[in-house]
């Protein structure tokens, strides 16, 4: 039986992907969520829809490093090995503030928590494990983005509306660096990024966009618009289908097709800086 962890699985992309994966009763789903009540409701719905009883809820708040550590300990104690880790939980730039650990909220939630959890669980991943981190085409927002260093992103001295874009760029730097490390180690574990696109019907997009406005977005931003059904189906396939077992270091764009990311996302010095500073922030040491 495959053990599949999905963060932020109580709604939207995470929930839909979990439901698709649960249709195969050889898959065990671990819904890693901040809101226990919503997660339990999601669990009940998935079990009712699929008949798969192997659906478990574990509390996880990726904005809190202590919560991430507690989750990793609990997961290892209960399940041991992980086969698939889908780093999906995220918040938009509508959120702002500083976490209990002193980091900018969006950076901590979308990048740092997943960075720590992946590193803590990596020794427990199965030989052919898969790590998929949900990024976004907003890593290259309209008007572009300038890399101002990790310290600026983690501890900004002013409100920056591009904080979401920075976090999604960090997701790519993390994925590409993790892929390099795994390759150097001769590991068969894969690391990929996935862009679901802008989905008007999810809570992330407000969850209340009417059909007319959604059509406007789809018409004016066809390269950014995403369909929840199609994106969740693609993400589920990438997570478990054998044809993706050997694909690593790639960016899947709203489908099972890969594409190149922005020129900035391939900057190796930025990638190294983020990895080094993230280790420092999480209290980890370079292996």
Between CA 57 and CA 134 the distance in angstroms is: 20
Here the tokens at position 241 are 């289908």
Between CA 154 and CA 287 the distance in angstroms is: 23
Phi, psi of 82 (to 5 degrees): -115, 140
- Residue 53: its H or E element: none
- E-only strand ranges, 169-278: 190-195, 251-253
Rounded (10°) CA dihedral 65, 67, 69, 75:
-150
Between CA 170 and CA 202 the distance in angstroms is: 23
Residue 164 a catalytic site member: yes
CA atoms in the 13 A half-sphere facing the CB of 217: 16
CB 193 within 8 A of CB 135: yes
Start-to-end Cα distance in the chain: 30
Q: Tokens 């900035």 sit at which residue?
A: 264
Between CA 106 and CA 40 the distance in angstroms is: 25
Between CA 84 and CA 98 the distance in angstroms is: 30
Out of 124, 152, 164, 173, which one is annotated catalytic? Answer: 164
Between CA 254 and CA 213 the distance in angstroms is: 20
Catalytic annotation, residues: 164
């Amino acid at each position: 039986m495959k053990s599949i962890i999905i963060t932020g699985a109580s709604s939207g992309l995470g929930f839909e992907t979990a439901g698709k994966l649960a249709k195969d009763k050889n898959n065990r789903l671990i819904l890693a969520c901040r809101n226990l009540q919503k997660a339990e409701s999601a669990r009940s719905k998935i079990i009712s829809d699929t008949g798969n009883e192997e659906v478990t809820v574990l509390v996880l708040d990726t904005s809190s490093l202590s919560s991430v550590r507690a989750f990793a300990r609990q997961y290892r104690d209960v399940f041991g090995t992980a086969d698939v880790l889908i780093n999906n939980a995220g918040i938009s730039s509508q959120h702002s503030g500083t976490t209990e650990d002193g980091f900018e909220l969006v950076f901590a939630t979308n990048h740092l928590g997943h960075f720590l959890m992946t590193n803590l669980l990596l020794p427990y991943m199965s030989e052919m494990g898969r790590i998929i981190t949900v990024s976004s085409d907003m890593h290259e927002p309209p008007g572009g983005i300038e890399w101002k260093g990790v310290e600026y992103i983690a501890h900004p001295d002013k409100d920056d509306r591009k904080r979401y874009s920075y976090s999604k760029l960090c997701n790519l730097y993390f994925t590409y660096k993790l892929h390099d490390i795994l390759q150097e180690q001769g590991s068969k574990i894969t690391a990929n990024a996935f862009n679901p696109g802008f989905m008007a019907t999810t809570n992330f997009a407000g969850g209340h966009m009417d059909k007319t406005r959604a059509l406007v977005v789809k018409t004016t931003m066809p390269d950014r618009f995403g369909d929840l059904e199609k994106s969740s189906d693609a993400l589920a396939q990438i997570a478990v289908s054998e044809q993706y077992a050997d694909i690593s270091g790639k960016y899947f764009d709203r489908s099972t097709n890969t594409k190149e990311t922005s020129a900035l996302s391939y900057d190796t010095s930025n990638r190294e800086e983020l990895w080094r500073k993230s280790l420092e922030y999480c209290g980890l040491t370079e292996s």
